Amino acid sequence: MPERYDRLAITLHWVVAALVLCQISLGWWMLDLPKSPPGLRAGWFNVHKSIGLTIGLLVLFRLAWRIGHPPPPLPESMPRWQARAARASHFLLYAALIAQPLVGYLGSSFTPYPIKYFGLVLPYWGWDAPALKELCSAVHFGLACLISVLVAIHIAAALKHLLVNRDGVFQRMLPHLILVMGLFFWLQRTPRPRPTRRPRPNCPPSR
């Protein structure tokens, strides 16, 4: 079994992580957007939908890649309950990240507004139904809260492995460049022994 994730898995992890954090911030910010001037709110909502669908596609691709490239095993020193909790939280996070854009897409299909993916108009799944739109919006909001909690738990667990356990779990997901940079700065901060000066012999004064 590999000791680290492969490069593609690492890249997908950090790209999805950045997009998820962006989506959480953008989603809460959009709630306070005014409906005027026309097009401002709709434009940001289309950006939000486009990023969400991208996250769903990337997560599906990562799961497909994971089948042929299994992740490194967890440390044997990790308690069983922690290993089970880690697997359960990962499963819930993957499921929520896939379900969230699907629910958002379905909810948008119950409105008269076009659904755009970075400018490309997507087909509808439903019809103009305000009640179903409100139901999808409620589920979408609940999934957003669940994803926020799972992301916070994921970050806290990663920092625990890095700062408390120091078992290498955090480092195996870091890109090699970050590891090299971290080693460089650590070496720069490491105190180095100063060379000791040898005392000069006392020479007799010249006459």
What radius of gyration, in Å, describes the C-alpha atoms of the chain? Answer: 26
Task: Return the pLDDT at 188.
Answer: 62
Could you say which architecture CATH assigns to the domain 7-181?
Answer: Up-down Bundle (1.20)
Q: Pick the more confident residue, 38 or 3.
A: 3
Within a 10 A sphere around the Cβ of 67, how many other Cβ atoms?
A: 7
Average pLDDT over every residue of 90-106: 97
Q: Pick the more confident residue, 26 or 188.
A: 26
Report the percentage of the chain scoring pLDDT > 90.
68
CA distance 75 to 88: 17
The answer to whether 161 and 169 have CB atoms below 8 angstroms apart is yes
Sequence-separated (6 or more) residues with CB below 8 Å from residue 112: 128
| 195-197-201 Cα angle (round to 5) | 160
Q: Where do the domains of the chain lie?
A: 7-181
The tens digit of pLDDT for each residue in 162-204 reads 999 999 999 999 887 555 565 556 556 655 445 455 555 555 5
Is pLDDT above 90 for 160?
yes
Residue 34: band (very low, low, confident or very high) from pLDDT cuts 50, 70, 90 = confident
